[in-house]
Structure 1
Amino acid sequence: MNGGRLSSGSRVAIIGGGIAGVGMAASLLFNARARGCAVDVRVYDSGDPSGIAPPAVLTPECRSRLAALGCRIPLEWRAHELRGVEILSHGQREVLPSAPGGLWVVDGWPQGQGGVALVREVLAGAATAQGARFIQRRVERVENQPSAPDAPAAVRKNGPLVVRAQGSGERFHAVALATGAGPSLGDSFFPGFQPAPTVAAVQARLRQASPRAAPLARLWLSPLPTVDGLWLLPGAHSVYALAFGPAVTPADLCQALMMAARDGLVEEGFELAALETTRLPYGPGRSLVAPGQLAVGAVALGHPLQLGLTETLASCSRAAVALLDAGLEESALERRYVRDGLAEMLEDAAAGARSIPWLRRAGRRAPQAFLTARSRGSSGGMGGGGVLGLSAPTPLSLLSTARWAGVRETMASWVRTTVEPLPTTIPSMEPDLYYIVDDDPDQREAMTQLLEATGARVVAFADELALFCAVARRPPTAILLDVVLHWVDGLRLCEGLKQHPLTRDTRVVVMSGLNRPHVRQRALEAGAEAFLPKPVNPERLLRQLLGMVPATPPASATKSQEALSEESGRYAS
């Protein structure tokens, strides 16, 4: 150490092996070498599977920052370039064009890794080449324990911060937290640490039937009451979907995708290949530094309208400079890193998060609010620049126009009769068409044979997302819906169907092996016209759907009844 600053031989721990973690390692080593300082950097990478690896969107600034850190940009990364971002809200849409060569979508899924994983791999290679070492351990806490005066010299020179990871402890002079917007260490990083607030989100990967990449990313604002926004980011062989909102659920994302397929925003016949819940940063953190400690990346700041890695990489470079130039005292780090380095980015994060509720209120005026804000130009600052990965509009200008659009729309709604938006063409219900949704093939086959024996047409689904898309194109007479499904809860699915104008009049019969009063009550509250316990009684099923039961069921119906009965042992449990 040199006057409280990092000097040759100083040890720095980075908690988190994602983009922010490896970006921080590369930035710190690059800036230290430029100052003639040899720093020992250890990256604690828990190695936990990240689930869905999203694609990466590289803006010109992203690519410049990566190149400056010694990353080689593969030529294939520019294979898919976005022409712009389309904003949709309540039937209105506008396109914000990107500059030529502006937005590259990097993605290898499903044949290879997701784009974020690919960029992380390149950054990790650059950090390793400069001397970073990766430790495959999960960090539990960080302790500030200055060594005793009588401690051995080898202990005293290794710094006062102890990183506890899976039973081991190592000393460091500085520690950076780069764990992303998911669960962070909280007070286990340092007492009083307040990371960026987060909002619930659900992400999915859609496999397309035809290998073609759309030229536009899409942001659909408030497609559902529980969804603030739906991102649709195209790749060469897939679409990445991300829905966010305080109460968003996987069922909400599935319903929004049904609507997107109906409106031509995604290709019909897509397959839902992966789905999981996640968290997004939703504003700035409030307490980001302690003596020798700081937070970088999404754990420190961010908002859902960011498209790209610019803000994450910028926070890494500013954290590295602060540690090397300002010293490790809390006041010095606060001044150099937070007030001087992140002030503009923290302000942008706050403005971006505050724009979301105003854009919801703006309704059909929201797309125009983006255009109006864009016409005001970019800030010209050194931060991430504009929202959506573009140079403009900036978060502050968007907040201003979104607020005004929200006020105008609210005032207009006082004198306007609310009319629920519907598509221009609404398919008519097909009589004698029934949909069965059950993840058990024997149950699907048995009920299909029973209903077809009465002359009805039956389509059986193992995937509830396929049901959503089919209902939008061909509304049936009724839907037989199991409670336990692959992606979402059947009761939540029933509720979503009954709330949407395209499907609210469709009859839904819920089935479940959990024949409990509370399950029955939840099904009826969700809008089901009936609850049938499993094993389903064929006569009761036919009476419920058709209002009558044949005096002598056909042979196929008898066979179906036997098949349904054979399932009783398994489904009654």
Structure 2
Amino acid sequence: MNVSRLASGSRVAIIGGGIAGAGLAASLLFNGRARGCALDVRVYESGEPGTIAPPAVLTPECRSRLAALGCRVPPEWRAHELRGVEILSHGNREVLPSSPGGLWVVDGWPQGQGGLALVREVLAGAATAQGARFIQRHVDRVENQPAAPDAPAAVRKNGPLVVRAQGGGDRFHAAVLATGAGPSLGDAFFPGFKPAPTVAAVQARLRHASPRLSVTPLARLWLSPLPSVDGLLLLPGAHSVYALAFGATVTPADLCQVLMMAARDGLVEEGFELAALETTRLPYGPGRTLVAPGQLAVGAAAFGHPLQLGLSETLASCSRAAVALLDAGLEGSALERRYVREGLGELLEDSAAGARAVTWLRRAGRRAPQAFLAARSRGSSGGMGGGGVLGLSAPTPLALLSSARWAGVRETMASWVRTTVEPLPATIPSLEPDLYYIVDDDADAREAMTQLLESTGARVVAFADELALFCAVARRPPTAILLDVVLHWVDGLRLCEGLKQHPLTRDTRVFVMSGLNRPHVRQRALDAGAEAFLPKPVEPERLLRLLMGHIAAGVPTTQPHHASPESTVSDETGRYAS
């Protein structure tokens, strides 16, 4: 008898009840039964569910793996299929057609569950049908504490690993970490455990006033839309759009600003509502120390990268972990060889290449979309565990890394010798005289300024939600914008800066308002490109004189009319007039 194997009756704890946890439970029980090995599998479902219910992308391989685990894929899941993925970067774009067999987007939000929750439910049902038990308890740590020789036989037979959860402790022969890319147990799982590195991300759901979904829609990947955003993924769901922005320093404000830019450029429909938003983490490469005797990590806790759509890699790690635990689970070096080197070798290599490709795609700039096409032409299939990036059969992460690196080098060299010429839109709408936009989340302030401006015969559009501003300015440029600093999603200073950085909106006059009348706020507003800074409450007379052009933005109302034009003075706007 091989003492390193899990014997019939062994107890296995799985920490995390998501896709990876439920998938591993089903795979363990299925493979164990095929070998005549009955296991006692407990799945600890820990953590509060997020407000976002992401959709799931099912490739043909995903659907095959689910079927192999005894999961019935409902026919209605095929109601939504992607035509492909559009890659955008610095004004250039290319479309990568979907894989043979189609990319299914599984999603029921907001009427029902998100796609990942639906797939997880099916996997959990398959695992439960085979005997798995799901426990609602948060795990604090896992300890390797063999029972004392004089302990009761019932204790000794239950294994050396103690899973500590909410004050209690149960013994197991093996323990698996399947908690995703969020906060990891680290050394509390086993000493020296090194999970996959992660990168910050923000995810959101966009809902439209009149939902409509085009036939065979496209997913979109917008590369480096902002300095702080490496990429924005837009994935159409059944009745909404799922948005995911990632980057080392990305914030919710970054995602909101990029979404406004996307609406301005026609990538999402105008008038969207930001129905839900939350921060998250994405795996960004392979973990380094993933196993100990009887212990290992699966799914995003072990490896991954931001360009990894679909569930193929996660499900592949579950099946390989199940086989490795059954064959060599109790002996450290054998488990390392069976699971990591022989099982995950290609998947770990792909995750490292995918993470590095993101960095080079950012450097490639306008050449990035072409790098995807060049990589796609090199081959149409990946390794045994996964396939290409973005849920496609090609390009593979390794091929993309090679193409992206070459594109990045070429773009860097070209930037040394060329003069940057910013492309202008084909048509630039003409400015509409006497049209003013007011952006303020204070209803009373909006109403007061609207009435003031309308009393002069001007037309006014007031925004309670700043998310529609970029679209409005790009399509109907106003005479000026009155912009509050403190808004719901993005601060006004960032909005002003974003408006001034795009050829469609850079010539629009922006007046920044704030109740925080401090020198550093005034200076930041002016640095962002504002015409002037107006302390709140705004003086009506001064506001009208500024907007109607009776005084220059930098000239204070208290300045004598006979002042010498050569004199330099400072006023409450923070500008200096010469």
Q: TM-score, normalised by structure 1?
A: 0.91
Query: C-alpha separation between the residues in 2 aligned to 1:517 and 1:144?
Result: 59
Match of 1:103 in 2: 103
| More displaced stretch, 66-75 vs 262-271 | 262-271
Q: Against the structure 1 CA distance between its residues 380 and 508, is the aligned structure 2 distance closer, same or farther, given a 3 Å change threshold?
A: closer
Change (3 A) 1:380 1:545: closer
Summarize the Cα distance change of 1:438–1:399 in structure 2 as closer, same or farther, 3 Å threshold.
Answer: same
Deviation, 1:345, is 0.4
CA distance in 2, matches of 1:532, 1:193: 54
Say if 2:65 is the partner of 1:83. no
Contact 1:479 1:508 in 2 (8 A): yes
Q: State the 1:350 CA deviation.
A: 0.6
Q: Partners of 2:360 and 2:182 in 1: how far apart? A: 25
Find the counterpart in structure 2 of residue 118 from structure 1.
Answer: 118
What CA deviation, in whole Å up to 9, does each residue of 1:273-294 have, x standing for no partner? Answer: 2222222111111111122111
Following superposition, the deviation at residue 380 of structure 1 comes to 5.0
Contact 1:90 1:421 in 2 (8 A): no
Match among 353, 356, 362 for residue 354 of structure 1: 356
**CA deviation after TM superposition for structure 1 residue 547, in Å:** 4.8
- Aligned partner of 1:107: which letter? D
CA contact (8 A) 1:17 1:179 kept: yes
Q: What is the CA-CA distance between 1:68 and the residue it aligns to?
A: 0.8
Letter in structure 1 aligned against 2:101 = G
Secondary structure, counterpart of 1:388 in structure 2:
helix
Report what 1:92 is aligned to.
92
In the TM superposition, what are the counterparts of 1:81-480 in structure 2 within 5 Å?
81-208=81-208, 209-213=210-214, 214-379=216-381, 381-480=383-482
Structure 1: how far apart are the matches of 2:49 and 2:358?
30
Over the aligned positions, Cα root-mean-square deviation in angstroms equals: 2.1
Instruction: Provide the rounded CA distance (Å) in 2 between the counterparts of 1:265 and 1:380.
Output: 30
**Partners of 2:167 and 2:515 in 1: CA distance:** 45
Structure-1 residue corresponding to 2:555: none
Q: Deviations over 1:483-523 (max 9, x none)?
A: 33222333333333333343333333333344455544444
> Is 1:512 the counterpart of 2:514 in the alignment?
yes
3-state SS of 2:344 partner: helix
Contact residue 139 and residue 164 of structure 1 kept, 8 A: yes
Contact (CA 8 Å) 1:252, 1:496: kept in 2 or not? no
Identity of aligned residues (%): 88
CA contact (8 A) 1:288 1:295 kept: yes
* Partners of 1:86 and 1:218 within 8 A in 2: yes
Residues 338-368 of structure 1: CA deviation (Å, up to 9, x unaligned): 1110010000001111111211222222222
Whole-angstrom CA distance in 1 between matches of 2:429 and 2:7: 71
Question: For residues 42 and 521 of structure 1, do their structure 2 counterparts lie closer, same or farther at Cα, with a shift above 3 Å needed?
Answer: farther
| 1:64 match | 64
Residues matched between the structures, number:
549
Q: 1:135 to 1:540 in 2, by over 3 A?
A: farther
Distance in 1 of aligned mates of 2:282 and 2:136: 25
**Structure 2 residue identity aligned to 1:437:** V
Change (3 A) 1:541 1:142: farther
Relative to 1, partners in 2 of residues 1:505 and 1:344: Cα closer, same or farther, differing over 3 Å?
same
Q: Mean Cα displacement is larger for which, 376-385 or 390-399?
A: 376-385
Rounded Cα–Cα distance in structure 1 between residues aligned with 2:503 and 2:280? 29
Please give the alpha-carbon distance, in whole angstroms, between the structure 1 residues aligned to 2:357 and 2:398: 9
Matching of residues 464-543 of structure 1 within 5 Å: 464-543=466-545
Residues 81, 101 of structure 1: 8 Å contact kept: no
Q: CA deviation at 1:548?
A: 5.1
Secondary structure in structure 2 of the residue aligned to 1:111? coil
Q: Is the 8 A contact 2:360 2:404 kept in 1?
A: yes
- Structure 1 residues 53, 473: closer, same or farther in 2, change over 3 A? same
For structure 2, which runs of at least 5 residues remain unmatched after alignment? 552-578
Greater mean deviation of Cα atoms: 195-204 or 429-438: 429-438
For the residues of structure 2 that align with 1:183 and 1:391, how far apart are their CA atoms?
31
Secondary structure of the corresponding residue to residue 341 of structure 1: coil
Give the alignment's TM-score, normalised by structure 2.
0.90
Point out the more displaced range, 82-91 or 491-500.
491-500
Q: How far apart in 1 are the matches of 2:401 and 2:325?
A: 33
